[in-house]
Structure 1
């Protein structure tokens, strides 16, 4: 399956347990494929007698899965914007009821950013303050589970992707006791090229394995996640206590992938991403973006079966100006820097075939980002 070619399995391994991928296709091409079963497993461990809060209305979209587990107790839902039966429309930062357990799926990274009704507060650390708030809402002995995108520290505008140095601020700046915080990590290895199929491959990994992971690359949405667990170790409230050095936030990638961005793809491709190019001319072009004066990192992996002579171009001004080019006749991995001395408009990547032989191609990685 997918553009890397792993075999699909109905389950993944998390903390030495076999969990079934989320089978409900609502937003399931994202990290919800693994976050939802991890959250359900957490709630099963909490038990039915505990008072449970969900921050962000997510799990109600997967009610058929929850109904399979009568050992899970009733869940109160807090969501600032989303309307629905029983949803408390209160800002998390103004909420003060205590709970035995709190779960939050794909939510805190959006707090204080431009997302889902929220307007940007200009505070890139608002997600960390939300986690601090969740910790302080727990009764002593209470537990919380929070999932966030994880890899390189990125400001996507509508979310913050967490990184090792960012999450370290929970202890170093925001005062959560080190012994109260534990984390697990997962990375996405593969996904089908059609967003309607929703098949993915995720594995649990070490934190360091995600240090070069970008949001939206090479697959849509998070390519790595952190599962943050909090254990309220004392009555005392955690409080902000320090001012570490400012962190560097990377912007979104200009081109994060090939299959999930608006390239003009002139040949049909299968779920593994392979397409046949059997005539001279363009194989693809796009996505027509504007790039400011900057140094860019360009990466591409072109896999080829059969023979063919190609040139891969980066061009601007609708193909009138060549910014970079590379001749290809076999599978190639490309890593290069693109120096732009002026703003370039209508920038596109083009793959041009020069001969009439037939060959089959796929592109597991195509990436352009500011340094």
Structure 2
């Protein structure tokens, strides 16, 4: 199975993602949460999901503002017909404010959502007695379906509207039977609102988790690919490594791919073959661990100097360091660079 990725076809030294960019902190942020149920997540905060939720549901606030403007306009018409101009003027101010908020709803959706709740409460207080119950139900439905709030804030907004509606009904209804009926109606509306809200939130949570898994796999794939490229570039020149990867991506059969010899003719180059004098005596005097550590530090410095002197490391064999100047980029001063590399190596050894 061949995985084709446009980034693989780019030169290895010019890849967009560099090693270390995707660190453990980012991977932990998008780590899969299989051990957590959806119900558990509904009651707990998740910074990553909060951003996702905000972007997904921000558009609902405009619909909520539009509905509230229409509701306020309808109530203004009723008060104008009845001649209650004081309430008409107050509702007119609220309506103008809501109309202005429609044009700035994208800036602060959370704050604007609570402004909508406050405006709904004021409109509910000014509502005629005959329409108070119906407008309360409509406002509760708006809290559960159109406001871009998660479960806890939505339930809190609905509770505020419910308590306000009960206070209004207590002042208007003298008969306990009618008050009990109103309480049951509001309770049923809140239960219905939760049953409407929960499946929608459930789908969004599941979609978010699946998307997060895909992003995590992609980041881990890029992260692992970077490590493999570093290993490959440590033993092969980048132009040969790139050519080998390109052959694998083309989709040739395995027999042809592994039998192909990657040869490139180069002229006007300088070869530097360095051998550490007295290495045999040093090896007999040192422990194996100390010897390996010393060679590792020494060759690491050689690699750095090779980059500074425009040399390409070809091979390391024991205490021998083999590099070439003039590949893959041709240089007219390849001999000078090779000599400079040799002098730097002597200085490092001393």
Greater C-alpha Rg: 2
Q: TM-score, normalised by structure 2?
A: 0.24
Higher helix share: 2
Higher relative contact order (CA 8 A, sep 6+): 2
Higher strand share: 1
Q: TM-score, normalised by structure 1?
A: 0.23
